[in-house]
Amino acid sequence: MPNAASPPLPPVLRPSTSPRRSLADLAARFQAATADDLTGVEVTGVTLATGDLRAGELFVAVQGAKRHGAEVAGGAVARGAVAVLTDAAGAALLTDVGVPVLVVDDPRARLGAISADVYGTGADGQLPPLLAVTGTNGKTSVTHLMEGILGGLGVVTGMSSTAERHIAGQVIPSRLTTPEASEMHALIALMRERDVQAILVEVSAQALTRHRVDGLHFDVAGFTNLTHDHLDDYGDMRTYLEAKLALFRADRSRRAVVCVDQPEGVEVAQRAEVPVTTILTPAIAADPDVAADWRVDIVGEEPDGVTFTLTGPAGALTTTVPVIGPHMASNAALAIVLLLEAGWEWEAISALVGDARIDAHLPGRIQRLSGDRGPAFYLDFGHSPDAFAKTLEAVRRVTPGTVIMVCGANGDRDVTKRSDMGRAAALGSDIVIVTDQHPRSEDPATIRAALVAGARDARPDVTVFDVAAPEEAVARAVSLAGEGDAILWAGPGHQHYREIAGVRTPFDAEEVARTALRRAGRPVDDRQAPRASE
């Protein structure tokens, strides 16, 4: 629901030079039925949202969760839409709308191809190398690590991640992990206009099943892992895996790089329709003896990073990723091999990162906010049982003292994972503090209760606190921590808001953590991460 307290949504980006596409040609190519005269009508863009529509664009009206987009077509026309594309149900709602109406069977399924046609971003659109990453956890880390390495090689990048959109140095916050197809194609057209030399895209399961990456053909696609999440959308893990597998069809990608640390990764590698290169990290693999093209061996772990050796057909290099945990070494290795498969030279990558730290910013991914004394304080975006378990294990390995976990779960999302999140928190830490994150339309006390119950069922002896306000929860954690201890606050990560009762309320988790540390007299790492422009 709209509310004055909600910060404005980030803008939808478009190329500065608008395309011009004949509406009659579009209708003919996509076999759209119409009773209107299309002569002389030109389309300069495509959108699903009236709030982002610009004059000259095609408004695509689809059935939403609560209403049909055709119900707001009048507003789209008032803002300058030159035509409406919809289905038969939408057309029935449109009477004398004042612009041509085109009808197709499933406008959402056509949106990617139509957007690619309008913006010239399809497989024949002369795009720079286009790389995708999918998986439950690690997508953002891999994408930002690729960007960091490419930046070191002097490559101008464009990126679309859960956290941010980057266009040749410009940084803008993200709305969705993967934008709607019309926004994605407009974004890529803008990147091409700004002479970007590589485009890096996170691809969620929802992006695949909801047609958000339709019309794109990726040069290389990567797979990280598959763990318990999004069952509110997919029902079971098998259906969830099938959704991810769609990225590895020949009509979506040319090559693939797959982590085979899990049986699901082995299945992805076996069922992919494109040539596959595999990566194994024995330290975290379900079966450390699985055959793989590349191997990741952990060399050392410190509170500010993990060092590993990557060995494969092109050679071997030893490097350090600037965040903790063997799973982050796996993410960094995947980033390197994705770039190698996309055509960048091994010698150049090895010369840049070999025997050095990878220079990359991973927003809200096991981000250390504390100084070099006192308890270590880590902020992370983890919001699944597996993410909790892996990150807690990484923290434990570099912490001589007590590990304190501050965590919450999101409302209006997969409720089946909440108990398992509490279980992972209890099994991986010494003290659990459950707090609120994004309750959305749900009762936050009910969400917290599920995590508390999961924690206590897993370890009846564990110390669990239920503290609703995140500020109070973090202050409690800091008050309990001493020299040699560590605090992991999982949930907010890079996000700078909390969604409560439908309202996005500004909230800065980094500043909350730093304030709690300062008030307790603890040293703080005051280096501010780059922030997106709103």
**Interval 321-331: pLDDT, tens:** 999 999 999 99
**Interval 45-98: pLDDT, tens:** 999 989 889 999 999 999 988 899 999 999 999 999 999 999 999 999 998 899
Torsion angle defined by CA atoms of residues 15, 16, 19 and 20, in that order, rounded to the nearest 10 degrees: 150
* Beta-bridge mates of residue 117: none
Q: Which two tokens stand for residue 483?
A: 């020299």
**What residue type is 199 in one-letter code?**
I
pLDDT at 534 over 60: no
- Burial label for 55, CB within 10 Å (0-12, 13-18, 19+), is exposed
As a whole number, mean pLDDT of residues 292-321 equals 97
**For residues 534 and 173, what is the distance between their CA atoms, to the nearest angstrom?**
7
Least trusted range by pLDDT, from 121-125, 291-295, 379-383, 409-413: 121-125
**What residue type is 431 in one-letter code?**
I
Alpha helices in 462-508 (DSSP H): 470-480
Reported confidence tier of residue 11, pLDDT bands at 50, 70, 90: low
What is the chain's length? 534
Do 190 and 14 meet the contact criterion of CB atoms below 8 Å apart? yes
pLDDT at 173 over 90: no
Do 128 and 196 meet the contact criterion of CB atoms below 8 Å apart? yes
Do 431 and 463 meet the contact criterion of CB atoms below 8 Å apart? yes
**Interval 472-494: pLDDT, tens:** 999 999 999 999 999 999 988 77
Q: Which residues 6+ apart lie within 8 Å of 239 measured at CB?
A: none
Q: Which residues 6+ apart lie within 8 Å of 44 measured at CB?
A: 18, 19, 20, 21, 54, 55, 56, 57
- Burial label for 472, CB within 10 Å (0-12, 13-18, 19+), is middle
**For residues 13 and 180, what is the distance between their CA atoms, to the nearest angstrom?**
12
* Beta-bridge mates of residue 423: none
Torsion angle defined by CA atoms of residues 374, 378, 384 and 389, in that order, rounded to the nearest 10 degrees: -50
As a whole number, mean pLDDT of residues 89-114 equals 95
**What residue type is 509 in one-letter code?**
A
- Burial label for 315, CB within 10 Å (0-12, 13-18, 19+), is exposed
Q: Which residues 6+ apart lie within 8 Å of 83 measured at CB?
A: 23, 38, 41, 43, 58, 59, 99, 100, 101, 102
pLDDT score recorded for residue 122: 85
Domain range summary for the chain, segments of one domain joined by +:
21-119, 130-353, 367-519
Least trusted range by pLDDT, from 73-87, 185-199, 232-246, 277-291: 232-246
Q: What is the DSSP letter of 416?
A: G
315: region left, alpha or beta (phi > 0 left; psi from -120 to 50 alpha): left
Q: Which two tokens stand for residue 262?
A: 């899990």
Topology of the domain covering 130-353: UDP-N-acetylmuramoyl-L-alanine:D-glutamate ligase (3.40.1190)
pLDDT score recorded for residue 4: 41
Beta strands in 18-99 (DSSP E): 21-22, 42-43, 46-47, 58-60, 83-86
pTM above 0.95, yes or no: no
238: region left, alpha or beta (phi > 0 left; psi from -120 to 50 alpha): alpha
Torsion angle defined by CA atoms of residues 131, 359, 170 and 348, in that order, rounded to the nearest 10 degrees: -50
**For residues 471 and 436, what is the distance between their CA atoms, to the nearest angstrom?**
10
Common-topology check for domains 21-119 and 130-353 = no
Radius of gyration from C-alpha coordinates of the chain: 24
**Interval 353-393: pLDDT, tens:** 999 999 998 887 888 999 988 999 999 988 889 889 989 99
Give Cα 382 to chain centroid, integer Å.
12
Q: How do 294-302 and 276-280 pair as beta strands? A: parallel
Beta strands in 269-325 (DSSP E): 276-280, 294-302, 305-312, 315-321
The b/e string for 75-97 (b: 16+ C-beta within 10 A; e otherwise) is ebbebebbbbbbbeebbeebeeb
Q: Which two tokens stand for residue 133?
A: 């990453």
Do 123 and 217 meet the contact criterion of CB atoms below 8 Å apart? yes
- Rounded to whole angstroms, what are the CA distances from 239 to 286, 293, 336? 21, 28, 30
Torsion angle defined by CA atoms of residues 52, 53, 58 and 64, in that order, rounded to the nearest 10 degrees: 50
* Beta-bridge mates of residue 405: 432, 488
% residues pLDDT > 90 (the chain): 80
Highest average pLDDT, of 95-99, 177-181, 387-391, 442-446, comes from 442-446
**What residue type is 105 in one-letter code?**
D
pLDDT at 234 over 90: no
Topology of the domain covering 367-519: Protein-Tyrosine Phosphatase; Chain A (3.90.190)
Topology of the domain covering 21-119: 3.40.1390
CB count, 10 Å around CB of 51? Answer: 11
**For residues 325 and 20, what is the distance between their CA atoms, to the nearest angstrom?**
49
CB count, 10 Å around CB of 72? Answer: 16
pLDDT at 10 over 70: no
Give Cα 9 to chain centroid, integer Å.
17
The b/e string for 172-201 (b: 16+ C-beta within 10 A; e otherwise) is bbbebbbbbbbbbbbbbbbbbeeebebbbb
